[in-house]
Amino acid sequence: MLVFLGFAAARLILKLLKYVFYKKDMKIYCPNCFCTNESNQNVCKECGKALKWKDESYEDELIKALSHKDPRIVLRAAEILSDFKGDRTKKALTGIIFKSKGPYIQATAVKSLANISSNETLKIFKKIALSGTLPARLNAIEAMGKKSSLKDIDLLKKLEKDNSETIKARAEEAIINIRKRYEL
Ligand SMILES: [Zn+2]
């Protein structure tokens, strides 16, 4: 009996979680193309597929979508994952940051990871700030501005001498942000 109740409760919690994730802001994501639809729609306005999710968790589906062959879907999944704070999502986004050759996918994954992590991901951002694709470097430097401590200012000062003017400007902003946090 207790086991049964536990099972029923777990199912109910899952159902509620699903509701929160699927119907966030009264929007529903298409399981096929991940575009946003109104929650009262039955079929996707973009691809026409039924807006029905299988029992698998939404987060799992999104993580799976990061290996989709269509880069637009990968990009969209990386973007939506900024709402999921689980370790699996952090791991999957980190994977795509280092695996993806697409500058916008890499940049979006950096942004989403920055959104859901505190400073445990700093070393990823430092690495990408130096060696990522240009849009990813910009997002990584911005993330450093939000998460770094004063000891990372040296790296940002180095980036202020970068060849790219946008990188220089972003590094300068990040330094200002860090100093502001420490009220220097
Ligand atoms: Zn669709």
Res 18: pLDDT: 57
Tell me what the mean pLDDT of segment 98-103 comes to: 90
* Mean model confidence pLDDT for the chain: 86
**Residue 178 to residue 174: CA distance in whole angstroms:** 6
Assess if residue 87 is contained within a domain: yes
CATH number of the domain enclosing 168 = 1.25.10.10
The owner of tokens 């777990």 is 10
CA 87 vs CA 6, 59, 105, 157, 174: distances in Å: 25, 11, 20, 31, 26
- Pairwise pLDDT comparison (135 vs 101), residue with the higher score: 135
CB 59 within 8 A of CB 88: yes
Based on the structure, what is the number of domains in the chain? 1
**What's the 105 CA to ligand 1 centre distance in angstroms?**
19
Tell me what the mean pLDDT of segment 13-36 comes to: 64
pTM, entire model? 0.75
Assess if residue 40 is contained within a domain: no
Instruction: Note residues around ion ligand 1 (Cβ under 5 angstroms).
Output: 30, 32-33, 44, 46-47
**What's the 67 CA to ligand 1 centre distance in angstroms?**
17
Res 57: pLDDT: 74
The residue type of 148 is S
**Residue 169 to residue 166: CA distance in whole angstroms:** 5
User: Does residue 81 surpass a pLDDT of 80?
Assistant: yes
**Residue 22 to residue 158: CA distance in whole angstroms:** 43
**What's the 180 CA to ligand 1 centre distance in angstroms?**
44
Assess if residue 164 is contained within a domain: yes
Assess if residue 82 is contained within a domain: yes
Q: For residue 155, give its domain range.
A: 69-184
Res 33: pLDDT: 83
